Every structure is written in C-alpha cells, then in structure tokens.
Amino acid sequence: MPPTKTSFHLLRLDELSAAEIGELLSEAQRTRGQRSEEARGRVLGLLFTKPSTRTRVSFEVAMAQLGGQSVFLSSETTQLSRGESLAHTARVLGRYLDAVAMRTHRQEDVELVAAESRIPVVNALTERFHPMQVLADLLTVSSRRGQLHGLTYAYVGDGNNMANTWILAQGVLGLDLRLATPPGFGPDPTVLAAPAVRRHPPTLLADPKEAVRGADVVITDTWVSMGMEAEAADRIRLFAPYQVNAALMALADPDAVFLHCLPAHVGEEVTAEVIEGPQSAVWDEAENRLHVQKAWLRALWGGAS
C-alpha cells in the first residue's frame, strides 16, 4: 500500500518536504506513548551491519506498539556473511517483509536495497546520513523550546553523517545553522550542493566559540565513529578545541539545549557536567527516536491523521 503522508523511501532527509517533516513531528508528539494497530500483520526487517542500541530497540518497540512485528537481520547471521550479494538478499526480503530499516556503513548499500527490494526502506544510519535521528532531534527542540524557527543552531565537531543531515534539515526547513569543524573535517560537499541547501545554506566556521555564541541549540557527536578506531588518537588531538564543555556552553543562550545522538565519549567531545547538566536533552532525544519512527511507520501504512 502506498503511504499517505511520507515518501515511499526515506534515505535522506531532503526527500521529505517541510510540510511532511512538520506532519511527522506533529504526529509523533500527538501519539506519544499511544498504542495502536496500524502495523497489525506487518513485519519490519531490521537489516543491520553495524552494532546498535537505540536504533534496534526503538524500531522493535515501535513495531510492537503499532501491533506489528520486527525481524532482526545482522550481516553475521544471514547469508551475507557467506558471500550472497546484497542485491539478491534485498530481492528476497522484498518478498517476505513489508518494510526494511537498514543500518549500515555505505549510503550506496541503502540505495541498492531500496532499488532492489520493492518495499519501503528507511535509512537507520549510514556513513553519510542519519535522518531518523535528526527528526528525533527536531522533535526534542520543538518540545523543549516550543518552536523550530527563530532559533540559532550550532553544530560543533566532525562534519559527519549527523552534520550532513542537520544541513539537509536546515535547508528544507529554512533554519539558522552554524557549523564549526576543524579544517579538513567539514561536511560532504555534495550535501552543501543539494538544492534545498543552496536555497538555505548553513554558516561554515572554524571557530567553535563563534558558532556557539548566542546559540539556542548546541549539537555535537562523537569524534571517532565506528570504523575509525585506527584514527582515534589523531582525531582526539585535532578535535580537542571543539569539546563542548561548560566554558563553551556558557557562550550560548542561557536557555540553550544541548543535543548528542549517543553513544557519547564523555571527556572527549563533551564533558560530564554538560551531558549530565540541566541544559542536556540527550535522554529526551533518545526517547524521541521511538516517537518519530512510530509516526513514520504509521504514515507509511496510512495511519496518520
């Protein structure tokens, strides 16, 4: 069944319009904590090639609360581990499942599964994008501050999948986003060239203080993502000036909200006093993964009002 409110796939955030993002966030807020039957008889496949806590649990709970089921499929426990091609796997899964949430290393792999499986595919994380996480972030900001527009957003740290997705979000929604990254670690140039981003470009900076000064939302992410462990020592040294600590947060608006998608390396990209402090919204942010994913699944199967 074609979805009524969302695009068929969700592989990157700029596949949604500003109106669709607004509908999803409103639906997530309205149905927070509710159980329903939109997914009754439906099965969501969780095709993961990377470890997960929040993504796996939130999707499994979302399907359970919608009356459906999920099947967890890791690369180690499927024939992918023995050399079956991803295209062949996707074609088979498309004949069993109603949708796939895929968490993997390469954006190209999610795009391949979407092309081959004939069922809706949602990007649950790749090295380039993390759309469900940023939807959860937006829900957190709107819940904490009562609005999305009229705020200044500061992203500090690595120009990674979170930075890329925040750039797409600000482009689609027309937000005020400043990014401070070390030289050579900026966001993906192709993301900056996306049509929505060209219309509403972010402010790119090298100085984290300049980015955070007066900001209403301060965002960071780990400096050493999965698969970068060999670079850890060099990255920690290069990114040290970009740590979100009490001194940096003091430059933000007094009511500023701190976001981190987790897991955090406390003492590296963020200090304990910030992530455990009163401005931190990271636990609400983690919970909101459940609510936005339920909203997307409900919209996918015609349940959104």
Q: What is the pTM of this model?
A: 0.95
Annotated catalytic residue, options 9, 42, 56, 130: 130
Helix axes 131-145, 282-300, angle to 10 degrees: 120
**288: which 2 tokens?**
């909101």
Cα-Cα-Cα-Cα dihedral sign, residues 130, 158, 273, 207: negative
Q: Where in the chain is the domain with CATH 3.40.50.1370?
A: 13-129+287-300, 133-285
Annotated catalytic residue, options 178, 221, 235, 260: 221
Residue 200: C-alpha distances to residues 12, 173, 175, 176, 260 (Å): 17, 8, 8, 8, 24
Residue type, 2: P
**CATH topology assigned to domain 133-285:** Rossmann fold (3.40.50)
Which CATH architecture group holds 13-129+287-300? 3-Layer(aba) Sandwich (3.40)
Name, in order, each residue with C-beta under 8 angstroms of 76's C-beta and a sequence gap of 6 or more: none
- How far is Cα 25 from Cα 143, in angstroms, rounded to an integer? 10
- Phi then psi for 131, rounded to 5 degrees? -65, -40
Annotated catalytic residue, options 65, 107, 133, 170: 133
pLDDT by 10s per residue, the chain, length 305: 333 344 589 999 999 999 999 999 999 999 999 999 999 999 999 999 999 999 999 999 999 999 999 999 998 989 999 999 999 999 999 999 999 999 999 999 999 999 999 899 999 999 999 999 999 999 999 999 999 999 999 999 999 999 999 999 999 999 999 999 999 999 999 999 999 999 999 999 999 999 999 999 999 999 987 667 778 889 999 999 999 999 999 999 999 999 999 999 999 999 999 999 999 999 999 999 999 999 999 999 886 44
In the residue annotation, 95 being an active-site residue is answered as no
In the residue annotation, 56 being an active-site residue is answered as no
- Phi then psi for 91, rounded to 5 degrees? -65, -40
In the residue annotation, 289 being an active-site residue is answered as yes
- How far is Cα 226 from Cα 53, in angstroms, rounded to an integer? 14
